[in-house]
């Protein structure tokens, strides 16, 4: 039973948060390119970041900050320049960016988090940022979630945000989130960029543990093109403004809060996968019957990331052989005699053997999903069962179209 409901507002839906997004001149297009999220009080902060060895300066800055302090008040995100592989000069740009935010908001320097997205190897346009920080701070509003979500996108076709609320005793807890991502999506941590706000009262270690587990069930299970970003950042604030009793240990209240967090993360993750560059549909792969959830997630992610599976879906070809082959190379031991595969309602394989099915109707199913409404009825469902355990896992991806090559051939990342 769902214990929460969706509400408007994005990252500003929870109590005590303001946000804004402006055009600061960082993008050549003149579109919004600078976002700021601020908590009215110091919040418990948690983060998950890319594991790549080639990282943006802001990633190292935030990781180091969390090692010394788990509190935060502000998140500044610039779009246009990734500030990755920019050496000591890029690191100085990050430090100056944090100082600008701290001075403008009159908050401690160590309560500022930073994120960047854009072209690798390009430093932030600091002249534009110096002028932009006071402007975005002046624009902060408790209804500014949508403008902030717009200011962090690059090749995205749509903004990505969500907010939910649930009852904890006689009080309401709210949680909001926003993310960006469309290409270079195959996270080895969390996501491209995602920011989550919450007004619950929760201990710092518990919040960090919840976020890491939620990331493993969401952002770490999406793929568009197999490429991990240099800037992957997931930051979550919990500022306690709901005035609910503090959640300091595992139990029913902690489980409920983590379920909310996982739901928000999965919604944002699926939105990223659906908005994959050139994509026409979302692909959801569910794997069950494995020895562990980790095994199931590994198989699901391998199938969702298979270029051959993705190409078949774009070609509206119900090619079960490509699905089976991808499952088999995922690095998980299973008996192929137990393998069962479904595409939507079409049973393609049972007990490791192909079944007779209406190929034309299955192809029509793929066409119908590609024509469906965004994130509602545009999902191609693949179900795989290995038949010997209780493990279960999901992964999300998209089809691979001609446009993916065109977009990335014409666009420098």
How many whole angstroms separate alpha carbon 388 and alpha carbon 377? 31
Query: What's the confidence (pLDDT) of residue 190?
Result: 45
User: In CATH, what number does 4-274 get?
Assistant: 3.60.70.12
Per-residue pLDDT of the chain (413 residues; tens, 9 = 90+): 568 999 999 999 999 999 999 999 999 999 999 999 999 999 999 999 988 888 899 999 999 999 988 899 999 999 999 999 999 999 999 999 999 999 999 999 999 999 999 889 999 999 999 999 999 999 999 999 999 999 999 878 889 999 999 999 999 999 999 999 866 566 654 446 999 999 999 999 999 999 999 999 999 898 876 666 788 899 999 999 999 999 999 999 999 999 999 999 999 999 988 887 778 899 999 999 999 999 999 999 999 999 999 999 999 999 999 999 999 999 999 999 999 999 999 999 999 999 999 999 999 999 999 887 766 678 999 999 999 899 999 999 999 888 877 877 876 65
Domain residue spans in the chain? Answer: 4-274, 282-410
Query: What's the confidence (pLDDT) of residue 351?
Result: 95
Q: Is 377 exposed, middle or buried (0-12, 13-18, 19+ CB in 10 A)?
A: exposed
Residue with token string 């919604």:
267
Query: What's the confidence (pLDDT) of residue 334?
Result: 94
Residue with token string 């562990």:
292
**Number of residues that make up the chain:** 413
Residues marked active site are found at 191
Nearest C-alpha neighbor of 398 from the set 186, 215, 119, 159? 186
Compute φ and ψ for 89, nearest 5 degrees.
-65, -40
Please name every residue paired with 171 in a beta bridge, in sequence order, or none if there are none. 168
HSE toward the beta carbon, residue 278, CA cutoff 13 A:
22
Cα-based angle 136, 140, 142 (whole degrees, multiple of 5): 155
Query: What's the confidence (pLDDT) of residue 274?
Result: 85
What lies within 8 Å, CB to CB, of 97 at 6+ separation is 76, 78, 114, 124, 126, 129, 133
In angstroms, the Cα distances linking 250 to 160, 164, 202, 244, 256 are: 30, 22, 11, 16, 10
Domains 4-274 and 282-410 share a fold: no
Query: What's the confidence (pLDDT) of residue 378?
Result: 83
The torsion region of residue 344 among left (phi > 0), alpha (psi -120 to 50) and beta comes to left
Query: What's the confidence (pLDDT) of residue 413?
Result: 56
Contact 323, 336 (CB under 8 A): no
Query: What's the confidence (pLDDT) of residue 401?
Result: 87
Query: What's the confidence (pLDDT) of residue 227?
Result: 63
State in words which class domain 282-410 has: alpha beta
């Amino acid at each position: 039973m769902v214990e929460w409901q969706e509400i408007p507002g994005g990252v500003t839906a929870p109590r005590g948060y303001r946000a804004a997004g402006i055009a600061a001149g960082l993008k050549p297009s003149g579109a919004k390119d600078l976002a700021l999220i601020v908590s009215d009080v110091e919040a418990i902060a948690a983060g998950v970041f890319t594991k790549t060895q080639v990282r943006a300066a802001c990633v190292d800055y935030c990781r180091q900050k969390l090692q010394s302090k788990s509190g935060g008040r502000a998140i500044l995100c610039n779009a246009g320049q990734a500030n990755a592989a920019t050496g000591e000069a890029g690191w100085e740009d990050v430090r100056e960016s944090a100082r600008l935010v701290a001075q403008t908001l009159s908050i401690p320097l160590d309560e500022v988090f930073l994120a960047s997205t854009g072209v690798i190897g390009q430093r932030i346009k600091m002249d534009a940022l110096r002028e932009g920080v006071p402007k975005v701070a002046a624009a902060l509003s408790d209804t500014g979630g949508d403008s902030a979500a717009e200011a962090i996108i690059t090749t995205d076709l749509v903004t990505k945000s969500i907010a939910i609320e649930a009852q904890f005793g006689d009080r309401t807890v709210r949680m909001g989130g926003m993310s960006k991502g469309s290409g270079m999506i195959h996270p080895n941590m969390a996501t491209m960029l995602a920011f989550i706000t919450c007004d619950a009262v929760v201990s710092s270690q518990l919040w960090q543990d919840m976020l890491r587990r939620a990331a493993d069930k969401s952002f770490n299970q999406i793929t568009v093109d197999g490429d991990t970003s240099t800037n992957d950042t997931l930051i979550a604030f919990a500022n306690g403004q709901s005035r609910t009793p503090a959640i300091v240990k595992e139990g029913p209240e902690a489980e409920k809060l983590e379920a909310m967090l996982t739901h928000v993360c999965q919604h944002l993750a699926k939105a990223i996968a659906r908005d994959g560059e050139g994509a026409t549909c979302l692909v959801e792969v569910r794997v069950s019957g494995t020895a562990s959830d980790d095994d199931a997630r590994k198989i699901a992610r391998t199938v969702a990331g298979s270029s051959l599976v993705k190409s078949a879906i774009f070609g509206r070809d119900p090619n079960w052989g490509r699905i089976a082959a991808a499952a088999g190379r995922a690095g998980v031991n299973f008996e192929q005699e137990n393998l069962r595969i479904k595409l939507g309602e079409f049973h393609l394989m049972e007990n490791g053997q192909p079944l007779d099915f209406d190929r034309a109707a299955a192809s029509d199913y793929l066409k119908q999903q590609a024509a469906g409404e965004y994130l509602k009825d545009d999902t191609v469902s693949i179900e795989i069962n290995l038949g010997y355990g209780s493990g279960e896992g999901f992964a999300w991806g998209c089809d691979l179209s001609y446009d993916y090559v065109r977009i990335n051939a014409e666009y420098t990342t």
